[in-house]
């Protein structure tokens, strides 16, 4: 939609709202990305701190039942507390259960499910620094959406992922069940109108799994459209950097090696490794003095970086999910950034994965490679029963797409078009 079309759409939607017709919009559910909502924790008697800094008295700010904000907590900036954060965020894969669980003595919960509250700011006391979906939610309210009436949020424990058929995934499956119930409730409270799903990043993978794990009749009744923002359909090379050398979480003062173990333990991070089906066998993603690794060499890569325990869950729980990206027969719009330097090949020429590599860059949104961002379009190009529309916004990064004025205009314009005219 061009700028003129967007302005007309927004004007019509605002006119409808001012005339008391805000309930005519399709209800909308926001699904955040990895790290895109608050996460709370509580320590039990089973918790065994690894240092004095990590004792059960830290942090001091807890509610009457001992719950505190685990993500996002600004004390992660300080090295001793970074270790506490990492050990409390850690997941453990249990071979006998064939599933992931929290660290012993750490209970977690996701606050405010159904509301947008925990998606707005990762820390409500640091609104400017930790704003996430606040600009998008504000833009949605300007075209008539009302939180709790026509606008809903679906936060989740983003450390967990989903597993292929035949493997349990307690936390991820429970989220899909809760999300399904939220969608049905949102539709029911809005005269049976089907819901618009708006996802960011990892949320898009969850949304696609939700659609394909429910019947086509359910989708037709309850889903109007999926607007997927910055979705890493085929994973990212940047995730290989996270597994090999750790990620600073976008915080330059954080030592990536301190949080690397926790990041490797994340089930969702395994899900975000490059998809062999999309990245291919011939494209080198990581180079060392001993060998090259493509997306078909992920298992060897995990072993060689010192994380052999990740091989079984990757090959048995995650890889089948990557191989089976089915068209849900629901209209999909992908809104993506482009023209931002994005890691494409990592060079570890000393062979030391504790060091940060030299990086060769390609096109993408700074986090997700272009081949992953446009994957649905390439996979389903000849599917007559599946509509996929891709809107590219030049120079906009993976996270700034939720704040950038031009990007927000495109996103709101697409939602306005869906409400006014329906899917193409």
**Cα separation of 189 and 246, whole Å?**
44
Catalytic-labelled residue, pool 16, 187, 201, 265: 201
Q: How far is CA 383 from CA 212, 216, 328, 380, 386, in A?
A: 16, 16, 11, 5, 6
Catalytic-labelled residue, pool 365, 372, 397, 416: 365
Tell me, yes or no, if 167 is annotated catalytic. no
Catalytic-labelled residue, pool 26, 200, 225, 398: 398
By DSSP bridging, strand 223-229 and strand 332-338 are parallel
**Cα separation of 133 and 15, whole Å?**
24
* Angle, alpha carbons 393-398-401 (nearest 5°): 50
Q: Count other C-beta atoms under 10 Å from residue 85's C-beta.
A: 25
Residue 255 region, left (φ>0) first, then alpha (ψ -120 to 50), else beta? Answer: beta
Question: Which residues lie across from 292 on neighbouring strands?
Answer: 287
Tell me, yes or no, if 398 is annotated catalytic. yes
Residue 214: how many CA atoms within 13 Å on its side-chain side?
A: 22
Tell me, yes or no, if 201 is annotated catalytic. yes
* Bond before 383 cis per omega within 30 degrees: no
**Cα separation of 358 and 120, whole Å?**
35
- Catalytic site positions: 201, 365, 398
């Amino acid at each position: 939609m061009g700028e003129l079309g967007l302005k007309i759409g927004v004007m019509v939607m605002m006119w409808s709202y001012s005339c008391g017709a805000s309930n005519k919009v399709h209800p909308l559910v926001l699904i955040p990305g990895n790290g895109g909502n608050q996460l709370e924790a509580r320590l039990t008697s089973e918790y065994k701190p690894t240092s004095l800094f990590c004792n059960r008295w830290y942090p001091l700010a807890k509610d009457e039942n001992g719950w505190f904000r685990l993500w996002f907590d600004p004390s992660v900036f300080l090295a001793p507390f970074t270790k506490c954060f990492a050990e409390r965020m850690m997941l453990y894969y249990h071979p006998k259960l064939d599933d992931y669980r929290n660290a012993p003595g750490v209970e977690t919960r996701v606050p405010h499910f159904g509301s947008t509250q925990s998606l707005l700011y990762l820390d409500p006391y640091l609104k400017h620094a930790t704003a996430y979906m606040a600009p998008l939610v504000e833009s949605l309210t300007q075209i008539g959406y009302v939180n709790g009436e026509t606008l809903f949020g679906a936060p989740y424990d983003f450390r967990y992922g989903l597993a292929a058929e035949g493997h349990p995934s307690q936390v991820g499956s429970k989220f899909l069940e809760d999300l399904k119930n939220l969608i049905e409730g949102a539709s029911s409270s809005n005269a049976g109108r089907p819901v618009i799903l708006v996802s960011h990043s990892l949320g898009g993978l969850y949304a696609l799994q939700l659609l394909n794990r429910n019947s086509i009749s359910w989708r037709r009744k309850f889903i109007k459209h999926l607007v997927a923002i910055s979705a890493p359909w085929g994973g990212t090379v940047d995730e290989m950097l996270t597994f090999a050398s750790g990620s600073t979480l976008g915080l330059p003062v954080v030592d990536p090696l301190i949080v690397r173990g926790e990041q490797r333990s994340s089930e969702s991070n395994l899900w975000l490794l490059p998809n062999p089906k999309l990245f291919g066998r011939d494209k080198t993603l990581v180079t060392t003095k001993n060998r090259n690794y493509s997306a078909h060499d992920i298992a060897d890569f995990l072993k060689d970086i010192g994380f052999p325990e990740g091989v079984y869950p990757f090959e048995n729980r995650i890889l089948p999910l990557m191989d089976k990206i089915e068209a849900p027969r629901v209209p999909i719009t992908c809104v993506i950034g482009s023209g931002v330097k994005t890691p494409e090949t990592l060079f570890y020429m000393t062979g030391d994965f504790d060091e940060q590599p030299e990086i060769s860059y390609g096109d993408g949104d700074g986090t997700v490679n272009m081949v992953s961002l446009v994957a649905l379009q390439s996979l389903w190009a000849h599917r007559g029963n599946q509509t996929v529309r891709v809107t590219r916004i030049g120079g906009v990064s993976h996270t700034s797409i939720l704040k950038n004025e031009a990007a927000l205009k495109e996103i709101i314009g697409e939602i306005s078009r869906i409400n006014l005219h329906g899917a193409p």
